[in-house]
Structure 1
Amino acid sequence: MVELWPLFLHFLTLSLLSIGGAITTAPEMHRYLVGERHWLSDTQFTSSIALAQAAPGPNILFVAVLGWNIAGWAGACAAMAGIMLPSTTLVLAATRWAQRNQASLGVRAFKAGVAPITLGLLIATGWLLAEPYLREPAQRWAILALMSATVALTLKTRLSLVWMVLAGGALGALGWV
């Protein structure tokens, strides 16, 4: 039986660390849910994120899918409430304050400093999601090629990321990666 209170509290804590979105805390979610609590397997965790990212709607849906896979409706509600409450409250208060003080050196410095942190967290998340497939010799080169092509297309073209996600899904459905 899953204890909902620790699930809620962990996601509550992660909410304040999710600069750039909840997906940036996926490595810590993985450590806690898979490594420490053993509520999910590595495959269940990765599949939960993939399913939620493929579905239409906000990216935060993966938190609800993780919670659902742990404890059904109660787990989904505990995880979503935990991840949403602190960050939503903080963002509302901070946005109002920053709007009134947008010319402040501190506000400008904060905006400039958060960008590299977000990029680093997103790279860590991408690595976490790719790592299980990179360990498989049969898939390693296809995954590395797909990752390289995605990075190159992102940096060199204005192609929407949606098309790259669809192409990756199509390649996966055909069994090429």
Structure 2
Amino acid sequence: MKISTTALLEELKSKTIHHLQFAETLLLKPENELNFRISADSWSVLECLEHLNRYGDFYIPEISHKISSSVTTPKPDFKPGILGNYFAKSMLPKEKLNKMKTLKAMNPIHSELNKEVVNEFIKHQQQLLDLLDRAGNIDLEKTKTAISISKLITLKLGDTFRFVTYHNARHVVQAERVLKNI
């Protein structure tokens, strides 16, 4: 499977703009609604975003560093790697979200959270948009990034962008479902 590099970056930018706009609407809601959970073991809207912020704290600096140090030139098409494609596709939201275990350090359940979480998520989405713009000037296959669970495993930058964006989409959908239950 090959994807036009331009089309891939545009798709990811479009999704990221949607995530950014969603987060901006959350700033208008009271914190008690953003801390509401459907059940004792489910995440609130703020916990969904805090989970994404924790991943963003790893991936945004990692991606930024790899883009800044890349000496490659862009290619017209991107071919996902086997592992990267698997990780990215596993994050895509589905009609019935399949539950996944998260690492303890990435699980924000029962944290004391406020709207600063939303502001941080907005900042991350703005940074991601900037990185997606900058990525148009390098090779998304030859430029590799570490992953959060092991610095020994690397993914093509294009797959890392897909993973991060689809993971964001997954938890934005989860947060939207929580809001529908208030």
Please give the TM-score of this superposition, normalised by the length of structure 1.
0.27
Q: Which has the higher helix share?
A: 1
RCO comparison, higher one (Cα < 8 Å, 6+) = 2
Q: Which has the higher strand share?
A: 2
